[in-house]
Chain A
Amino acid sequence: MYKINPRQLRMRYFKEKCLRVLCVLSLLISLCFLITLIGSIAYKSIPALTTSYLTIDVSIPATLDASKDNGRNLLRNAIFQLFPDTKTRKKKKALYALLSFSNETQLNTIIRNNTEFIGRTIQFKALLSDNSTHFLRKLDNTNDVKKITTKLSTYQQSALSSLYEEGYISWHFNTVFFTNGDSREPENAGIIGAIIGSIYVLGITLLISLPVGVAAALYLEEFAARNRFTEIIEININNLAAVPSIVFGLLGLNLFINHFSLARSSSIVGGLILSLLTLPVIIIASRSAIKAIPVSIKHGALALGASPVQVALHHTFVLSLPGILTGSIIGMARALGESAPLLMIGMVAFIADIPRTITDSATVLPVQIFIWSDSPERSFEALSSLASLILVIFLIAMNAVAIYLRKKYEKKW
């Protein structure tokens, strides 16, 4: 009988232990990265969650002509009433600049929809400008007003501080962010335009690339003869999956906009380009899902007299559906995070309107993040962080759906 060398045995166990520790370490490192990433995005996005409002009494004279836009004058008068000592034009202008411009249209709409307010004094929550909000946020954290770096003048600072102390200003959840389209002013900028743009683009991508991709995969796996031609197709599909996405953007620019004259920056063009990008991913995922179906099932159906198309539709397709869906969702998640090819077709333009149709100019979440991170105003940093967080939440949700579908429809044989 052989005797095992005890030193060698100890060495073996030691090596095993080392390997295990290394594996756990690498897992921990990647976890750390993930936590740092999500944590820093979440931390930076906190300021974007709240915004400040000034509660002021707006007296609407009975002689008001409701068909005209009166918001500006009414608001100016309302804020000047709070500071009766302010006389010079410059100071008045500075005082009014504490408010956001969007209040004017807001007030106009309120008056137009509620004509009974005419001749009365109403309480109006006016959104403060980004600079004001920024200053107030700093004021909350410090005792020394002089240390705060702000674009506000000393007069504006003292006015705002006194308003804050007297309780005219309140903090609210930033609903504007979730109901508005993009804007040049951070306090009015919202994500909904980009979200709807993303939904349109992804919807078009899914509608085009899923049926085409699955049909192509089924054909290649089930019906196509194995010859040089199908081999070339196979290699090309694999190559397409590795093509940098910006190249697809150039292709789309040339093909869809220059050649087919589709609307620039529209969701339809974005969707078409992302379909091209997602198609190889879906084909490859679907093919491997189809390949995993045991031959015995197909033979069982064939032996019962099912035609090849019946076998493909009743068995192969149905059984590979969870795999196809998982692969497609992961492909779609990639498309959701894609920005480079969409820059090429002008989805990077400043678009304040929320798109209504697929031919309207639109932007998508990652491009919106790109636009905001490129803007000079400080508050856009928090906004782009919050948008990133929303994007990450969407991605996690999509992947969770993929895992759920795989677990639910997984079949055993």
Chain B
Amino acid sequence: MNEKEKKIKIHVHNFNAYYDDKQVLFNVNLDIFENEITALIGASGCGKSTFLRQINRMNDVIENYSCDGSIMLDSETIIGKSIDVVQLRARIGMVFQKPNPFPKSIYDNVAYGPRIHGLHKNKTDLDRIVEQSLTRAGLFNEVKDRLAESGTSLSGGQQQRLCIARAIAINPEVILMDEPCSALDPIATAHVEQLIDELRKKYTIIIVTHSMHQAVRISQRTAFFHLGEVIEVNDTKALFEKPKHEQTLHYVTGRYG
């Protein structure tokens, strides 16, 4: 694939992050392309989750967190106090490691985002958004008869797809996923992976994963993080088959330790 044809959605330049005095991300330079799935891999504690949470500013809730450098979303910066994080998060959705549906009805779970942002004109419009989002998340047929039931009554895999439906209900441009399948069994994982692959057509997706198989299966590009640095970024196929760095090779072949 020719990289020049692809549009850069997120451009990260010389980005550093700190918890108090401890630096956790060093000079990160990374481009995320539109309508692609970018996988972030690396051992626990290497800073990939911190990086992911920086993109929708979820790190703001951590009191001792600070950062510098630049991250541009479509040529607009998303770093700094002047950014309206509420608007930013409406553009960048997130799916968490553990499914976290609200203890409300399935309908209200999906309708929550459109409601707080006022995206619907009336009730029928909201119904349409909910149905569309659930359909896109591949959940509608399973839950269409029990939309009033609690979201927490679903199985783990269904809950995670509900969370994805909830995230896409506000029609974001980017979806961040923090190990979305690590709490799911293999069948549910397959289901969610298939869904993520379909979502690529409409959204830009960044996924943190501990499973290298998963990275290979679903991502087009992969970034390998090690101790707060991006060691290597490349097309997934190239990164796994012909890694340029020794550390990457060790990690992807399982010799890392």
Contacts and interface: CB of A to CB of B under 8 A. Distances in A.
A296 interface: yes
Given A304-B113, A305-B113, A305-B170, A411 B93 contact: no
A121 B220 CA distance: 106
Contacts of A299: 58, 61, 96, 100
Interface residues of A, number: 21
B151 to A, nearest CB: 9
Most buried by B among A294, A301, A304: A304
Given A302-B58, A303-B89, A304-B112, A296 B63 contact: no
B100 A304 contact: no
Interface in B154-200: 163, 166-167, 170
A194 B89 CA distance: 56
Contacts of A314: 112, 116
B102 interface: yes
A299 to B, nearest CB: 7
B86 A307 contact: yes
Given A305-B113, A411-B152, A413-B152, A315 B87 contact: no
B103 interface: yes
B94 interface: yes
Given A304-B89, A305-B89, A297 B102 contact: yes
Interface string B112-123: 110011000000
Interface in B76-98: 86-90, 93-94, 96, 98
A412 B58 CA distance: 25
Contacts of B152: 411-413
Contacts of A225: 63
A33 B63 CA distance: 51
B232 to A, nearest CB: 29
A305 B90 contact: yes
B116 A294 contact: no
A296 B100 contact: yes
Interface string A200-234: 00000000000000000000000001100000000
Interface in A374-413: 411-413
B98 A303 contact: no
A345 interface: no
Nearest to B98: A296
B58 A304 contact: no
Given A299-B58, A315-B102, A304 B167 contact: yes
Interface string A303-323: 111110010001100010000
B113 to A, nearest CB: 4
A306 B116 contact: yes
A119 interface: no
Contact of B163 (A300, A306, A310): A300
B248 interface: no
A305 B86 contact: yes
B61 A302 contact: yes
B147 to A, nearest CB: 18
B56 A303 contact: yes
Contacts of A413: 100-101, 103, 152
Contacts of A302: 58, 61, 89
A343 B94 CA distance: 58
Contact of B116 (A300, A305, A412): A305
Given A296-B96, A296-B98, A310-B116, A305 B103 contact: no
Contacts of B90: 304-305
B159 to A, nearest CB: 10
Given A226-B63, A310-B116, A412-B152, A303 B93 contact: yes
B102 A303 contact: no
Contacts of A310: 116
A255 B163 CA distance: 53
Given A296-B98, A411-B103, A301 B170 contact: no
A297 B163 contact: no
Nearest to A412: B152
B148 to A, nearest CB: 15
Nearest to B163: A300
Ranked nearest first, the 7 interchain pairs of A and B with the lowest CB-CB distance are A303-B94, A296-B100, A305-B89, A305-B90, A411-B103, A300-B100, A304-B113
Interface of A: 225-226, 294, 296-297, 299-307, 310, 314-315, 319, 411-413
Given A297-B103, A300-B101, A300-B163, 4 more contacts: A294-B100, A306-B86, A412-B152, A413-B101
